[in-house]
């Protein structure tokens, strides 16, 4: 062992102890007759002291040569520090060094290894191994480990069995694009990497393993947006002989456990709202309920006058921005410009200032009187001092626009507090959603989701109205988990494939094994999956998942550190029975 203690372990109780430490040179200060070095490892920083009058001269000279990020080993005595540093656990002591070994030198790092580094995203990714030395990244990885361990311990204690499902599986066109793997031994054939272990966990339920989980990598070959990775980690869970309520209880319990263990927070029973309520009240299905500004629908109180913009709109809807009646014209214009940006896409915005003594001043005063505006205030819950902002247009689009505005205001006004956690369930999702491109219904969750029995009769007549036994767990405006009760009989599954546009043959080719399995006594079952990357980042009070992944890929799906993907040796391609077919661009 290269050390007797770590760099975070020593304090006043160790004074006069002989110790051996090893770590990296964080910085050194050479005062001529005295040299101080901050020695860093994963556990902390300990100050080393070389004193020309007490340290062996050769050691003193060697200490002069130390540069940033040199790896060294020192022996010495713990002594009391003259100027103590109350901000670190080792701040009362320093090491009077007697022996110094340079274990490895370092060239100058391309960015500073400090909490606030001078390195930009790109260079930090290229030298990720240096980035990981920085506290913010290192602590995120340690935090991730703690969360994963807590998940495993909680679920194991609840009788869940972690089962490893295969990574080399079968490609299915349904859903997102698969990453595929050519098979050398089965020429011309390909494995796919799993987008999720969905069918395997259902087969485990058929196999009687009635409480399953797995923390598992999944893969989707989608065009990457910021904060989406081609490989990502799920906490994948499934239970048999359960109803939706049992699943919500179990995984609400897990999340409460995590909040307690990692933040010491006891949270109330999670609110449950329906998808419809979420869309109407927050304009999206993953509302951040840490703050208000609930939507007020104004059709009934805004479509009775001569204001054509509203009268012709499918939906008129507003929010009350607390305390914003004082906004200047310029500030309001800026907000209007913000919602008119192409990313949001509103064509305009109406506002009402709720001033003192029940006086309303609006941008549509020539159409609406004070009594009208009072009704708007009632519908949006606006109080004196608030600013009502109103959008109108097609219902879905308008809700999305107002939701974007609500979130933007939440951010600007500091209402999305990173240390506050407001989980909830959104339930009763639609089973199907219409896809404009393919002009057919797609499964909103996936094709194995059970419709609500009471809605089954609508499948032929009004498929968009059929609700599913599907649910999402939402935390601070992010979907952190989602799942459903599954179909567990062959007939319903066949019916579902039919409604999703599968021919019988396609269904059999792709999912025949599952439908076969359903013939041999499949129990009722359901489950959910959490996105671990996002869960960890939100629990960590941040929203960027990349900061919680040890070696993330960039937006082109590249690992810039190892420079992957890369070209293959032609012999390798031949062996795999494939050839390149790169089209000129």
Return the residues of window 10-49 that contact a second copy according to CB under 8 A.
22, 24-25, 40-42
170 binds a second copy (CB under 8 A): yes
Q: Which of 11, 65, 161, 420 lies at the binding interface for a second copy (CB under 8 A)?
A: 161
Token couple for 366: 């020539």
Q: Considering only residues 219-248, where is the footprint of a second copy by CB under 8 A?
A: 219, 221, 223-224, 230-231, 233, 241-243, 246
- Following DSSP, what letter does each residue of 128-173 receive, concatenated? HHHHTTSHHHHHHHHHHHHHHHHHHHHHHHTT-EE-PPPSSB---S
Report residue 503 as tokens. 């021919």
Binding of residue 187 to a second copy (CB under 8 A):
yes
Which one of the spans 90-98, 165-173, 347-355, 381-389 is the region binding a second copy (CB under 8 A)?
Answer: 165-173
Residue 204 sits in the site that holds a second copy (CB under 8 A): yes
Q: How far apart are CA 284 and CA 302, in angstroms?
A: 23
User: Does 453 participate in binding a second copy (rule CB under 8 A)?
Assistant: no
Do residues 436 and 426 lie in contact, with contact meaning Cβ atoms separated by under 8 Å?
no
Stretch that binds a second copy, among 342-350, 426-434, 476-484, 521-529 (CB under 8 A): 521-529
Task: Quote the CA–CA distance of 365 and 235 in Å, as a whole number.
Answer: 53
Is 390 in contact with 351 (CB distance < 8 Å)? yes
Q: Determine if residue 108 is left, alpha or beta; phi over 0 gives left, psi from -120 to 50 gives alpha, anything else beta.
A: beta
The answer to whether 521 contacts a second copy (rule: CB under 8 A) is yes
Among 524, 541, 542, 544, binds a second copy (CB under 8 A): 524
Phi, psi of 379 (to 5 degrees): -70, -30
Q: Which is nearer to a second copy, 224 or 332 (CB)?
A: 224
Q: Applying CB under 8 A, which part among 154-162, 363-371, 433-441, 460-468 lies near a second copy?
A: 154-162
The correct pick among 52, 181, 344, 495 for binding a second copy (CB under 8 A) is 181
In whole angstroms, the minimum distance from the beta carbon of 580 to a second copy comes to 5
Instruction: With beta carbons less than 8 A apart as the criterion, state whether 331 and 353 touch.
Output: no
- Given the rule CB under 8 A, which of 140-148, 396-404, 417-425, 449-457 is the region that contacts a second copy? 140-148
In contact, 457 and 444? CB cutoff 8 Å: no
Q: Would you count residue 438 as binding a second copy (CB under 8 A)?
A: no
- Quick one: which of 152, 228, 305, 340 contacts a second copy (CB under 8 A)? 152
Write the DSSP symbol of residue 430.
B
Judged by CB under 8 A, which of 11, 326, 411, 574 binds a second copy? 574
Among 15, 34, 132, 309, binds a second copy (CB under 8 A): 132
Reduced to 3 states (helix: H, G, I; strand: E, B; else coil), residue 460 is coil
Q: Which stretch binds a second copy (CB under 8 A): 173-181, 319-327, 369-377, 395-403?
A: 173-181
Q: Which is nearer to a second copy, 113 or 319 (CB)?
A: 113
Partners of 217 in the β-ladder: 233
User: Residue 418 or 512: which CB sits closer to a second copy?
Assistant: 512
Cβ pair 236, 183 in contact under 8 A:
no
Q: Judged by CB under 8 A, does residue 581 bind a second copy? A: yes
Among 49, 63, 78, 130, binds a second copy (CB under 8 A): 130
The verdict on 266 binding a second copy (CB under 8 A) reads no
Write down the H helix ranges in 381-482: 395-412
Which of 256, 488, 534, 546 binds a second copy (CB under 8 A)? It is: 488
Residue 575: how many other CB atoms lie within 10 Å: 13
* Residue 190 Cβ vs a second copy, minimum distance, rounded to whole Å: 5
Closer residue to a second copy (CB): 221 or 297? 221
Residues of this chain, 47-86, that bind a second copy according to CB under 8 A: 69-71
Specify the stretch interacting with a second copy by CB under 8 A; choose among 91-99, 183-191, 266-274, 447-455: 183-191
The reply on whether position 173 binds a second copy by CB under 8 A is yes
Q: Are 5 and 19 in contact (CB under 8 A)?
A: yes
Looking at the Cβ atoms of 67 and 345, the one nearer to a second copy is 67
Minimum distance between the CB of residue 30 and a second copy, rounded to whole angstroms?
19
CB 302 within 8 A of CB 316: yes
Residue from 61, 65, 105, 347 touching a second copy (CB under 8 A): that is 105
Q: Tell me the C-alpha distance between 565 and 383, whole Å.
A: 57
Q: Which of residues 534-573 bind a second copy (CB under 8 A)?
A: 549-551, 553, 556-559, 561-569, 572-573
What is the radius of gyration, based on Cα positions, of the chain? 30
CB 224 within 8 A of CB 242: no
- Binding to a second copy by residue 276, rule CB under 8 A? no
- Measured in whole angstroms, the distance separating CA 341 from the mean position of its chain's CA atoms is 26
| Smallest distance from a second copy to CB 256, Å | 19
Looking only at residues 84 through 103 of this chain, which bind a second copy when binding is defined by CB under 8 A?
103
Selected binder of a second copy within 36, 167, 277, 367 (CB under 8 A): 167
Tokens 């709720």 found at: 354
CA 250 from centroid of its chain's CA atoms: 21
Closer by beta carbon to a second copy, 335 or else 549: 549
Our finding on whether 502 is near a second copy (CB under 8 A) is no
Residue/partner pairs of 82-91 with CB below 8 Å, 24 or more apart: 85/47, 88/44, 88/45, 89/8, 89/11, 89/44, 90/7, 90/8, 90/9, 90/10, 90/11, 90/44, 90/45, 90/46, 90/47
Torsion over CA of 256, 260, 264 and 267, rounded to 10 degrees? 20
Q: Which of residues 394-433 bind a second copy (CB under 8 A)?
A: none
């Amino acid at each position: 062992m290269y050390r007797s203690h770590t760099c975070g372990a020593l304090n006043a109780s160790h004074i006069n102890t002989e110790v051996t430490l090893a770590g990296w040179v964080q910085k050194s200060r050479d005062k001529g007759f005295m040299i101080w070095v901050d020695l860093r490892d994963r556990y902390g920083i300990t100050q080393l002291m070389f004193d020309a009058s007490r340290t062996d001269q050769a050691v003193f000279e060697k200490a002069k040569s130390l540069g940033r990020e040199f790896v060294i080993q020192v022996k010495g005595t713990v002594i009391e520090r003259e100027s103590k540093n109350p901000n670190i656990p080792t701040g009362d002591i320093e090491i009077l060094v007697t022996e110094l070994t340079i274990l490895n030198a370092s060239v100058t790092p391309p960015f500073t290894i400090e909490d606030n580094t001078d390195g930009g995203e790109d260079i930090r990714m290229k030298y990720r191994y240096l980035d990981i030395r920085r506290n913010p990244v290192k602590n995120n990885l340690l935090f991730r480990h703690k969360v994963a361990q807590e998940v495993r311990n909680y679920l194991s204690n609840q009788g869940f069995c972690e089962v490893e499902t295969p990574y080399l599986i079968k490609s299915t066109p349904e859903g997102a694009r698969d990453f595929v793997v050519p098979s050398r031994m089965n020429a011309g054939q390909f494995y796919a990497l799993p987008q999720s272990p969905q069918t395997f966990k259902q087969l485990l339920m058929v196999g009687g393993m009635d409480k399953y989980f797995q923390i598992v990598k999944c893969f989707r070959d989608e065009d990457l947006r910021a904060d989406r990775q081609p490989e990502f980690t799920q906490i994948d869970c499934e239970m048999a002989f359960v109803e939706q309520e049992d699943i919500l209880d179990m995984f609400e319990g897990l999340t409460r456990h995590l909040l307690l263990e990692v933040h010491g927070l006891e949270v109330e029973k999670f609110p449950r709202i329906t998808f419809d309520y979420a869309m109407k009240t927050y304009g999206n299905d993953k509302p951040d309920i840490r703050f208000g500004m609930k939507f007020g629908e104004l059709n009934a109180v805004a479509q009775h006058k001569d204001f054509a913009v509203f009268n012709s709109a499918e939906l008129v809807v507003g929010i009350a921005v607390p305390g914003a009646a004082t906004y200047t014209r310029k500030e309001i214009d800026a907000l209007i410009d913000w919602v008119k940006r192409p990313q949001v896409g509103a064509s305009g915005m109406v506002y009402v200032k709720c001033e003192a003594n029940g006086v309303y001043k609006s941008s549509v005063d020539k159409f609406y009187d004070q009594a009208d505006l009072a009704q708007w205030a009632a519908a949006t819950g606006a109080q004196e001092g608030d600013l009502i902002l109103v959008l109108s247009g097609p219902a879905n689009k308008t809700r999305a626009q107002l939701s974007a505005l609500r979130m933007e205001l939440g951010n600007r006004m500091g209402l999305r507090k990173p240390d506050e956690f407001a989980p909830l369930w959104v339930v009763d999702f639609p089973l199907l959603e219409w896809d404009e491109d393919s002009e057919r219904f797609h499964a909103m969750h996936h094709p194995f989701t059970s419709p609500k029995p009471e809605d089954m009769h609508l499948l032929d007549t009004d498929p968009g109205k059929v609700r599913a036994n599907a649910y999402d767990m939402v935390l601070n405006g992010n979907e952190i988990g989602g799942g459903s009760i599954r179909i567990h009989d062959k007939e319903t599954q066949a019916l579902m494939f039919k409604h999703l546009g599968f021919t019988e043959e396609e269904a059999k080719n792709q999912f025949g094994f599952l439908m076969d399995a359903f013939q041999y006594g499949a129990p009722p079952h359901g489950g959910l999956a959490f996105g671990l990357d996002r869960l960890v980042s939100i629990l960590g009070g941040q929203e960027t998942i990349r900061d919680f992944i040890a070696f993330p890929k960039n937006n082109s799906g590249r690992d810039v550190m190892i420079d992957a993907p890369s070209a293959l040796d032609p012999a390798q391609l031949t062996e795999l029975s494939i050839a390149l077919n790169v089209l000129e661009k």
